[in-house]
Structure 1
Amino acid sequence: MARKYFGTDGIRGRTNEAPMTAEIAMKVGQAAGAHFVRGDHRHRVVIGKDTRLSGYMMESALVAGFTSVGMDVVLVGPMPTPAVALLTRSMRADLGVMISASHNPFADNGIKLFGPDGYKLSDADELAIEALLDAEPQLAVSDHIGRARRIEDARGRYIHAAKSTFPDRLKLDGLRVVVDCANGAAYQVAPDALWELGAEVIALGVSPDGININAKCGSTDPAALVTKVIETRADIGIALDGDADRLIVVDDKGNVIDGDQLMALVGTSWGRKGLLRGPGIVATVMSNLGLERHLQGQGLSLHRTAVGDRYVLEAMRAHGYNVGGEQSGHIILSDHATTGDGLVAALQVLAELVESGKPAHELLRQFDPLPQLLKNVRFKGGAPLEKDSVKKAIAYAETRLAAAGRLVIRKSGTEPLIRVMAEGEDEVLVAEVVDSICEAVKAAA
């Protein structure tokens, strides 16, 4: 069934334009609340948000929706997405909601829903909620309207949970760490957790004003982090995105380390320690071929999925893996979290750094990636990938790459973009192939 509201990661769009209006947010609360009101107990939903200006509006609308159908609301304020998932499960809530558009600019916002187990909703649940969105809500009678309350210790609960994933025998004493919180949801919890573990913390992106989230900072733009790491002679830099479910690292020489290298580090280390479950790790079709070859050299495999952390997690749960993620920095460590968690992933990297005694630039370069290029082409509407001219350009590009590379072309699930990625042994050929397809898409869009 075609989806009207939900994309690959909840509901997302530009604020005050459908589907990201206060009216629709209230209906989401009513529909999701009605779907999860089961049994005669007091039902509860946990709602968190990042630091976007529109978060207040969306939060209020959701509270109105949930309480109107009889569900109690627990508000935790600005918190990482994985913290909301954690609190949903630990508080025995029936539902969790994160108000965030992740790495997108402040003008966008989104609604992510978690079930009582802390995992993102299944396709069946999302479709059931979609059906209720366009139906007349079943409002609670007056004495069954829900109540809303705000809890003040949510940050402490999450910090404690994140720290518990760091080995007890280790400390971060003597380690200088620059952390860029993207002026987003982790602007308080990430620096505090690192400091409590003993690190000397230099914090960037910790002054949110509602519109500076992800603006020239964080995992999608680590230039400021690179500069600060070099300037302060830090041992390592950590960059999170707006809702802190994504991690990118900068080593002590200022090199940017992506999710592929981090998965290689954690996966092979856990494999040596007997902590890895499954024959290897899970990643998407976007992960570099160098990662796959590196894992094979370690006797491990790479299970590839479609793009999106939900698909990575589905494969992990279906096949028994406990390490997976995306090149973009979503790292899922299912022993510790039910979704991508940038802070928890960073703590695993820091543990390896402390244990190895190596400088970051030696430890984090796990393999030499093949030349890979990704470009995005924005389109206004229609289906440019269905045009004959684009299909011919793609077919010709595949012929040119032959067996010496890979080509991945897809429509973004969260933005009106066509993403074109190619990789291979010949860097010049890779660039030519990507450019040719991008031009064809532009002409057809």
Structure 2
Amino acid sequence: MAGLFGTDGIRGRANTFPITCEIAVKTGRAVGNFVRKNQDQFLIIGRDTRVSGHMLEAALAAGASSAGVEVRLAGVIPTPGVAYLCSCLKGAGAGIVISASHNPYYDNGIKIFRKGGIKLTDAQEEEIESRILNDQDDVSQKNIGKISIISDSLDKYAAFLLSRFPIRKPQGPGENPLKLIIDASNGAASKIGRMVFGSGLFDPLYIFDQPNGCNINEKCGSQHTDTLKKRVIEEKADAGLAFDGDADRLIAVDETGKEISGDQILAICAKYAKKKGSLKNNTLVSTIMSNIGLTETLDSLGIRHLKSDVGDRKVLEEMMRSGAVIGGEDSGHMIFLEDHTTGDGILSALKLLEIMMTAKKPLSELASIMTVYPMVLINVEVDASRPDFKSIPPIAKTIDQVEEKLSGRGRVLIRYSGTQPLLRVMVEGPDQDQTLAYCEKICQSIRENIA
């Protein structure tokens, strides 16, 4: 039987392995026993707006309850909201989020936080996976946990987010609040977005905040910003903010309608933090997938740049190892470790808005500190054996040829997907057409030799 955990929890098509009721019950039971073993009182379950969320919530809760552990349901809430509840509610031993992030509605997933709102270690994932796949968790007829609802989960989370925003009104006489377009991706940000951005601090307009169970991420959100760009220009807004289905990512749009990537937001935040003297260890962490322009910008600012493997969990591990307090991914996952334990799209948005209001500069000007190199990413379907592509002479030769032609003005990065039978080929270079041609050349070599 295949393994369960990928780069960010368990994920797949709902009602097919591994996202089935049977696996969800076993997962709930395994996490319940994990909580009980650590002598904590309860676990928290939250979900996004997918139609399959109720089904999986019921199965996970039943499994945990059968392990004799209390379950508290947080309802529809962003992934980082569950992490926050895990850190602030006394007795919480774990949190489970039912979400497939930016994927279509027919997918779903199971993400797990341990006590304190931190994602599981590799060893803890392996232990829980073994228990699920090998039916290692017995149940006792004597102990059955009760299931209850956290009625104020969003109130607690909204209060936390607003407590991290230091500005209570526009600065200076005659200044108007920032006009914002909020794209909630018909996901978990739909309600909390109104609670935070509609708190009187901003002038917001909301789009894609009417979830129906099947429209999450559908031509909207952090992966699809065309409508947001158009509305920003039409409404003459100061910025557009796009979240993904579980609201742990942020992609912004400036006042000209140009998309601002996660790497650019990281650069803006790092520069601001260094100026304030709050960039601990003068370090920012991103992943190996970050744009080469981020490295150049940080070098020019005199900021140390560390790179982790892909995934916000890996970013967090490197941040904790190095003592960094800001890190993230170009995809929009950003971690502000002095404020939260995990990536949080809404918190990231508030950080960006704080800088705009304090600097009194438009987002386009703030983002201009970083030159974004053209980047082409192509996924090539391969067989499940995952051969070492570097040891296949024709592929290795093609990669060497491309790297030689780039000659320090770009880079090649190739890696297997953590969740799908795909080889991800990424090429950066100074020219878009040339970069695309180089990437397609490598992909063709892969198709001819291992695909």
TM range (shorter): over 0.9
Determine if the alignment matches structure 1 residue 59 to structure 2 residue 57: yes
Q: Could you tell me which residue of structure 2 aligns to residue 262 of structure 1?
A: 265
Task: Map 1:416-435 to 2 at 5 A.
Answer: 416-435=421-440
Deviation at 1:409, TM superposition (A): 0.7
> One-letter code of the match for 1:315?
E
> One-letter code of the match for 2:440?
D
SS of the residue corresponding to residue 351 of structure 2 reads helix
Q: Could you tell me which residue of structure 1 aligns to residue 237 of structure 2?
A: 234
> One-letter code of the match for 1:55?
G
Deviation at 1:413, TM superposition (A): 1.4
CA distance in 2, matches of 1:40, 1:295: 44
Q: Could you tell me which residue of structure 2 aligns to residue 304 of structure 1?
A: 307
Native 8 Å contact 1:384 1:441 kept in 2: no
Native 8 Å contact 1:30 1:68 kept in 2: yes
> One-letter code of the match for 2:71?
V
**1:370 to 1:136, Cα distance in 2 relative to 1, 3 A:** closer
CA distance in 2, matches of 1:68, 1:222: 43
Task: Map 1:352-367 to 2 at 5 A.
Answer: 352-367=355-370
Q: Could you tell me which residue of structure 1 aligns to residue 5 of structure 2?
A: 6
SS of the residue corresponding to residue 198 of structure 2 reads helix
Determine if the alignment matches structure 1 residue 394 to structure 2 residue 393: no
Deviation at 1:169, TM superposition (A): 5.1
Task: Map 1:290-301 to 2 at 5 A.
Answer: 290-301=293-304
Post-superposition Cα deviations, 1:41-95, rounded to whole Å, max 9, x if no partner, equal 6x20000000111111110110110000011000011100000000011113011
Determine if the alignment matches structure 1 residue 342 to structure 2 residue 345: yes
CA distance in 2, matches of 1:255, 1:419: 26
- TM-score normalized by the length of structure 2: 0.94
Q: Which of 198, 202, 209 matches 1:199?
A: 202
CA distance in 1, matches of 2:85, 2:342: 13
Native 8 Å contact 2:168 2:201 kept in 1: no
Post-superposition Cα deviations, 1:251-288, rounded to whole Å, max 9, x if no partner, equal 11100000111000001101100111122200011111
Native 8 Å contact 2:44 2:95 kept in 1: yes
**1:273 to 1:65, Cα distance in 2 relative to 1, 3 A:** same
Native 8 Å contact 1:70 1:146 kept in 2: yes
**1:268 to 1:17, Cα distance in 2 relative to 1, 3 A:** same
Post-superposition Cα deviations, 1:121-151, rounded to whole Å, max 9, x if no partner, equal 0011111111211334544433420000112
Native 8 Å contact 1:384 1:390 kept in 2: no
> One-letter code of the match for 1:126?
E
CA distance in 2, matches of 1:394, 1:191: 48
Post-superposition Cα deviations, 1:176-223, rounded to whole Å, max 9, x if no partner, equal 100101111111101220111421111111111111111100001111
Post-superposition Cα deviations, 1:379-432, rounded to whole Å, max 9, x if no partner, equal 453426535543343233233323332111111213333221111334443222
Q: Could you tell me which residue of structure 1 aligns to residue 31 of structure 2?
A: 32
Determine if the alignment matches structure 1 residue 369 to structure 2 residue 393: no
> One-letter code of the match for 2:219?
K
Greater shift in the superposed pair: 125-134 or 139-148: 139-148
**1:40 to 1:117, Cα distance in 2 relative to 1, 3 A:** closer
CA distance in 2, matches of 1:315, 1:205: 35
Native 8 Å contact 2:35 2:43 kept in 1: no
> One-letter code of the match for 2:239?
I
Native 8 Å contact 1:73 1:149 kept in 2: yes
CA distance in 2, matches of 1:158, 1:127: 30
Deviation at 1:296, TM superposition (A): 1.2
Question: Alignment RMSD, CA only?
Answer: 1.9
CA distance in 2, matches of 1:74, 1:67: 10
SS of the residue corresponding to residue 141 of structure 1 reads coil
SS of the residue corresponding to residue 94 of structure 1 reads strand
Native 8 Å contact 1:49 1:78 kept in 2: yes
Q: Which of 262, 272, 279 matches 1:276?
A: 279
Native 8 Å contact 1:35 1:128 kept in 2: no
- Structure 2: runs of 5+ lacking an equivalent: none
CA distance in 2, matches of 1:88, 1:426: 46
Native 8 Å contact 2:284 2:304 kept in 1: yes
> One-letter code of the match for 1:234?
A
Native 8 Å contact 2:35 2:42 kept in 1: no
Q: Could you tell me which residue of structure 2 aligns to residue 17 of structure 1?
A: 16
Post-superposition Cα deviations, 1:350-387, rounded to whole Å, max 9, x if no partner, equal 01111121222212222112222222223453426535
**1:379 to 1:16, Cα distance in 2 relative to 1, 3 A:** farther
When the two structures are aligned, how many residues end up with a matched partner? 443
Q: Which of 48, 52, 70 matches 2:46?
A: 48
The sequence identity of aligned pairs, in percent, is: 41
SS of the residue corresponding to residue 219 of structure 2 reads coil
Greater shift in the superposed pair: 237-246 or 284-293: 284-293
